[in-house]
Structure 1
């Protein structure tokens, strides 16, 4: 019989992409109200792996990835996705989305994104949301899966997430030390 145990808290990560970079200055404090203070921010990255969003959001599109200082309960991912959807709605103009926010979490073994879209490899987590196992950490690196989006396969994003993982391991060690 397996013995249930409390899961480790996770490192909250959010990807934000948009056409108009100045919008980021308005979005950033709203994301901090959801996740708390940010401790790592990627440089601006081109979001050019798909044209899927061009009709709705225009192009070219640009992305930043944020990692938050406070660790989160893995069970909160669906609530966090609901909150980021609400932030996206605040910036809709002429019925067009201007920003896209994809929250997820990172653990030593994996990177998981939240989505409202069901598919065979996604697990329902409540509140009309699913968890998408996006990357696995194997052999000292993140490894994409058959369904991993092309942008999350990119060296730049993987490299940044590996930096986030390094920081998370330090944070997790500190949390565990404070509990003992």
Structure 2
């Protein structure tokens, strides 16, 4: 019989994509401040990532002739993975605040990095997602094996892309440094 023990703290991250200029939404429209009010200080913002080439699914909602820009954002404080369902409800509320005529202009995929995995929250059930409470599901999007991120059969195309994987590697390395300080 195993003895239950508390889980490792994780590094919360957000994959944000926006209708048009992500700097406009993050800095001028106040998204960064709202995220920090809810999740603590941001310690890393990736360069702009190409999201548009992976899907046109969001163009109807965000704007047909608008370039959709993405960023990976990391939060400074480590937290419990049990917070994920609450985190998704918070980001859904933030998305609603930035909506225009019930159409999102900001999409926030919240999740976390653990040294062994990258996990994302979802409101949608699927065979590869586990219910975690409050009508929210969790999906292991990537696993970290033998020194690199490994996509799974169902991993979205953008999270298979070398540029995304590079940014997640940076965030993971920062997380490992934070864990060393936290564990000391």
What TM-score, normalized to structure 1?
A: 0.96
> 1:39 aligns to what?
43
The residue that corresponds to 2:96 in the other structure is 89
| 2-structure distance, mates of 1:103, 1:31 | 11
Matched, 1:134 2:141: yes
- The 5-angstrom pairing of residues 31-180 of structure 1 reads 31-48=35-52, 49-58=54-63, 59-177=66-184
Rounded to whole Å, the distance in 2 between the matches of 1:97 and 1:165 is 29
Q: Number of matched residues?
A: 177
- CA–CA separation in structure 1 for the residues paired with 2:109 and 2:73: 10
1:7 aligns with 2:7: yes
What is the alpha-carbon distance in structure 2 between the residues aligned to residue 28 and residue 88 of structure 1?
13
Q: Which runs of 5+ in 2 are unaligned?
A: none
CA distance in 2, matches of 1:169, 1:23: 29
Measure the CA separation in 2 of the matches of 1:171 and 1:5.
21
TM-score, L = length of structure 2:
0.94
Please state how far the C-alpha of 1:20 moved relative to its aligned partner: 2.8
Which residue does 2:20 correspond to in 1?
20
Q: Partners in 2 of 1:34 and 1:47 — Cα distance? A: 25
How far apart in 2 are the matches of 1:159 and 1:93? Answer: 33
- Distance between the aligned counterparts of 2:161 and 2:127, measured in 1? 23
Alpha-carbon RMSD across the aligned residues, in angstroms, is 0.8
Q: Aligned to 2:47, what secondary structure does the other structure show? A: coil
Q: Which runs of 4+ in 1 moved over 4 A?
A: none
C-alpha deviation, 1:42, in angstroms: 0.2
What 5-or-longer segments of structure 1 have no aligned partner? none
What secondary structure sits across from 2:144 in the alignment?
strand
